Structure 1
Amino acid sequence: MHKITRLIIFFLLAGFHLQAFSQQFPLGNTIHLAGWYRLGTLSLTQQGNDAQITIVGGSGYNATNGQNGECQIHFRTSNNESNTNGFLASGYFSSTGSLKFIGAVRVVQLNNSTWDFYALLATYTGNGATLSLLAAGGNWTPGFMMASPPVGAVSSDLDEKLTYQSPVFYSYPVSIGVADPKGYKLAVGGGVVAESVNVKLQANWPDYVFDSGYQLPDLSEVENFISVNKHLPDIPSENEIKTSGIDVADINTRLLKKIEELTLYLVEQQKDIKSLRRELEVLKSKSK
């Protein structure tokens, strides 16, 4: 019985201990005025102390998922040393959810343990939007008001980043810069840069073109097809590509087939040239 009592007391004390480091406040509502807002003031001593600020809100009031978003700010003090213009801390922020409603975060240093946080907010962040602080020994003083960061103050514009340091597995489609992946596992709106791309073969590689039984299209038929359709046989037209895009694996397979057919045409042509040369040499020798 005494053991159970001690366990209950332990968990109650642990709960009080955790609550001492976590604070939650109403964020405030931007209504219809987007722009810079002062969120409040963070008190956090030096010596590399961390604070995590989580903001839950959005833009709009129609209760749709497309209006909801979250923002997390990781802020850390230094050891009374500055890498940039006397600013004695560092940090970054990341956005998740369906909507990015915080466009930028700027932190203004008041002294070596006190900072004002400003954010560029969208319209109507929500009457129930919240801001919570998780920090060992830190304290947050709410001060929500529409105000631009002071000019000339010691400040830092936090970088926006979300970095995974561990392997990531997604079981659902991933969209980057586009709302609807349209059935693809990965959809990207914009350009992609990669050092290499490995596309696994899903169909027959056209080495069958070099089989002895392969029927090479007659060049006159190819010429007629090009004259009528303005593109090579088995290659999509410009309009088809504009409508459906290009399947990289498929188009490379088709192009290789054309290269292999072209190689066979050249081989046959070379044979014909050699044969004609021999005939020409024979005719020359007879005419002497």
Structure 2
Amino acid sequence: MKKTIVLFALIVTSTCLSQNTPFKNMTEAKNGFIGIGTTTPDAMLTVKGAIHTQEVLVDLDGAVAPDYVFEKYYNGFSALKNDYTFLSLSEIEDYIKKNHHLPKIPSAACMENNGVSLKEMNLLLLEKIEELTLHTIEQQKQIDLLNSRLKNLESNN
């Protein structure tokens, strides 16, 4: 019995020690990059497959949040991004007719070929939301003005 226990312990120990890593799908490249589901990681962490998480925190790291949209609209200039241009709806329509996607948003082909940077895309989408909000405010002001003029016309007749 003692021989059997010693033999079993020896087999278990040698089996455990012979494994380099307990994670079969994980790779550490010579440059320190880690790959999960891939043997050729091309970033600090490369995952081939889905990632399930409750939260992702992305540092702006020098990127500018699109407050420049409102700054340019209300002040006539933006200290945050001096080259920003607020396009009219007709300018946006012309761009879409020609390019088949929104200004500054990558085309489907570009996204397919290059992937999508979540930080960059979230900032661009926020820029578009802020622009849409301003266009909606402009339209509401026009609607209010037209309603006022209509009421004046109706009261005069």
Residue matched to 2:22: 94
Distance of 2:128 and 2:23 partners within structure 1: 48
The SS at the match of 1:175 is: strand
RMSD between superposed Cα atoms in Å: 2.7
Matched, 1:194 2:53: yes
Structure 2 alignment gaps of length 5 or more: 78-84
Distance of 1:192 and 1:208 partners within structure 2: 33
Matched, 1:43 2:4: yes
Superposition pairs of residues 1-288 of structure 1, within 5 angstroms: 43-44=4-5, 51-54=12-15, 70-71=18-19, 94=22, 172-182=32-42, 184-202=43-61, 203-211=63-71, 212=74, 213-214=76-77, 215-287=85-157
Whose helix fraction is larger, Structure 1's or Structure 2's? 2
Distance of 2:152 and 2:48 partners within structure 1: 65
Q: 1:95 to 1:282 in 2, by over 3 A?
A: closer
Distance of 2:59 and 2:128 partners within structure 1: 20
Structure showing greater relative contact order (alpha-carbon pairs closer than 8 Å, 6 or more residues apart):
1
Letter in 2 for 1:209: V
Whose strand fraction is larger, Structure 1's or Structure 2's? 1
- The CA deviation string for residues 190-245 of structure 1, in whole angstroms up to 9 with x for no partner, is 11000111111120000111112254201111101111111100001111111110
Letter in 2 for 1:197: V
- The runs of at least 4 aligned residues of structure 1 exceeding 3 Å deviation read none
Structure 1 alignment gaps of length 5 or more: 1-41, 57-69, 73-92, 100-170
Q: 1:95 to 1:231 in 2, by over 3 A?
A: closer
Q: Alpha-carbon deviation of 1:44?
A: 2.0
Distance of 1:248 and 1:219 partners within structure 2: 26
The SS at the match of 2:35 is: strand
Percent identity of equivalent pairs? 36
Distance of 1:95 and 1:193 partners within structure 2: 18
The number of equivalent residue pairs is: 137
Q: Alpha-carbon deviation of 1:267?
A: 0.4
TM-score by length of 1: 0.43
Residue matched to 1:16: none
TM-score by length of 2: 0.77
Q: Alpha-carbon deviation of 1:249?
A: 0.4
- The CA deviation string for residues 12-54 of structure 1, in whole angstroms up to 9 with x for no partner, is xxxxxxxxxxxxxxxxxxxxxxxxxxxxxx9326xxx795224
- The CA deviation string for residues 146-204 of structure 1, in whole angstroms up to 9 with x for no partner, is xxxxxxxxxxxxxxxxxxxxxxxxx821111112222x111001110001111111200
